[in-house]
Amino acid sequence: MEKLLHFERAEFDERVAAVKKEMAKRGIDILLVSEPPNLNYLTGYDAYSFYTPQMAIVALNHAEPIFITRFMDRISAKLTTYLSEDNIRPFPDEYVNSRTLSAYDFVAEVVKEIGDERACIGVEMGGFYYSARAHADLLKALPSAEFVDADLLINWIRLTKSPAELSLMRQAGQIGDAMLKRAVDTAEPGMRECDLAAAIYHQQISGTPEFGGSYASSALHLCVGERALAPHSAWTDKPLPASTTINVEVHGNRLRYQINIARTICLGKPSVAYQKLSEIAVEALNAGLESVRPGRTCSEVQEAFARVLARHGLEKEGRLGYPIGIGYPPSVAERTANLRKGDETVLQPGMCFHMMPGLWLDDRSVAITQPFAVTDKGYEPLTSTPRVLFVK
């Protein structure tokens, strides 16, 4: 059976070693990993199976992680991970949606097998896929263990990308560029919003002539007319007016590595005031980007952006940006550092962010954004779409 690994085994070993080092520092003997991006990061696992219980067990006294998943998904684990047969543990289907059985009892039995029942166990308390029921069942099954919150332990390690990861981020950026070009080229008065969305989705999956794309961790945001005042609207089946504003945010995904990028498209000539607003947004965005340097903090980058807005009498309430990388539903961000006032996270080469200086005012909005990677000297844009208002 041919393995579908996208990184060398040595890179996976380095990731696991970094996680174990942090576990030892915190006094954690066993880490139960439930978040799909973290499972992918540590093992390479990739399948749309996270709607049922699945976990990787990382133990200080065990070389490889042990992956636990539904029995029918064991084939995906064999295909997409480097793990040995012994470290892939499928649970029977009788555990799925059962009123009497819990897959976390199965997890607990593996924990007992490899560790002390009184071990200190870290769990991802803030994870999207670690439910209150999961925690309650584990506490019941392992009453002598000490459970501690290890949420974001892996996420902070993932924040700095390796050269191999950055290569996939750049490819994701090329897919994002192709999606935006398709949006700009296709949008025209009279076409249904859903048909525009379909064209963008087609480009997302077909990718570029060199490589294909995949499903993203978020739905396409296609905000038209009045809905452009809301940042996360979906499309309708209404026809596009002859004169309207379209905010579109796309998500280019290459082998689970994802970038976000947004642009505003105007059908019909925009007002002078609106054109000026878009220029201010781009000026502030560029100031934020130019302030990026290793050693500077996220807060300092936000301040550089905010100073430009302030000169024009404007203010952005929301954060300026967030880290990006491996993308699985439902989150587009890594949930760690934020480009906003007060975040003292120090930038390092290899970190990737989506700088999102969208301005949503009472009666108008504009969304022109930029994904980027921190470099030794500044920033590298991960997309090449011009930072301008598109007018058709």
> Could you tell me if 346 and 259 lie in one domain?
yes
- Specify the pLDDT at position 359: 85
- Specify the pLDDT at position 343: 97
> Could you tell me if 288 and 384 lie in one domain?
yes
Please report whether residue 3 resides in a domain. no
Q: State both tokens at 240.
A: 């596009």
> Could you tell me if 274 and 141 lie in one domain?
no
- Specify the pLDDT at position 317: 86
Nearest to 359 by CA among 293, 276, 291: 276
- Specify the pLDDT at position 265: 97
CATH code assigned at 128: 3.40.350.10
Alpha carbon 198 to its chain's center? 22
SS3 189: coil
Please report whether residue 32 resides in a domain. yes
> Could you tell me if 350 and 379 lie in one domain?
yes
> Could you tell me if 179 and 97 lie in one domain?
no
Type of residue at 29? D
How would you label 66-75 residue by residue, b for 16+ Cβ within 10 Å and e otherwise? bbbbbeebbe
Please report whether residue 357 resides in a domain. yes
> Could you tell me if 224 and 262 lie in one domain?
yes
> Could you tell me if 244 and 337 lie in one domain?
yes
Listed residues 137, 158, 179: the one ending a domain: 158
pLDDT in tens, 194-233: 999 999 999 999 999 999 999 999 999 999 999 988 888 9
> Could you tell me if 226 and 366 lie in one domain?
yes
Number of domains in the chain: 2
> Could you tell me if 245 and 380 lie in one domain?
yes
Please report whether residue 21 resides in a domain. yes
Listed residues 110, 125, 158: the one ending a domain: 158
Q: What are phi and psi of 320, to 5 degrees?
A: -85, -25
- Domain residues for the domain of 190 are 163-391
> Could you tell me if 144 and 234 lie in one domain?
no
Under 8 Å between Cβ of 204 and 252:
yes
Listed residues 113, 138, 158: the one ending a domain: 158
- Specify the pLDDT at position 364: 87
Low pLDDT (below 50) residues in the chain = none
Please report whether residue 1 resides in a domain. no
- Specify the pLDDT at position 113: 92
Under 8 Å between Cβ of 193 and 238:
yes
> Could you tell me if 128 and 171 lie in one domain?
no
- Specify the pLDDT at position 362: 78
> Could you tell me if 181 and 91 lie in one domain?
no
Please report whether residue 370 resides in a domain. yes
Please report whether residue 2 resides in a domain. no
pLDDT in tens, 142-172: 999 999 999 999 999 999 999 999 999 999 9
- Specify the pLDDT at position 117: 84
Q: How far apart are CA 215 and CA 327, in angstroms?
A: 9
DSSP H helices, the chain, are: 9-26, 36-43, 74-80, 103-114, 132-141, 153-158, 163-186, 193-206, 272-290, 298-311
Question: What pTM does this model have?
Answer: 0.95
Please report whether residue 4 resides in a domain. no
CATH code assigned at 357: 3.90.230.10
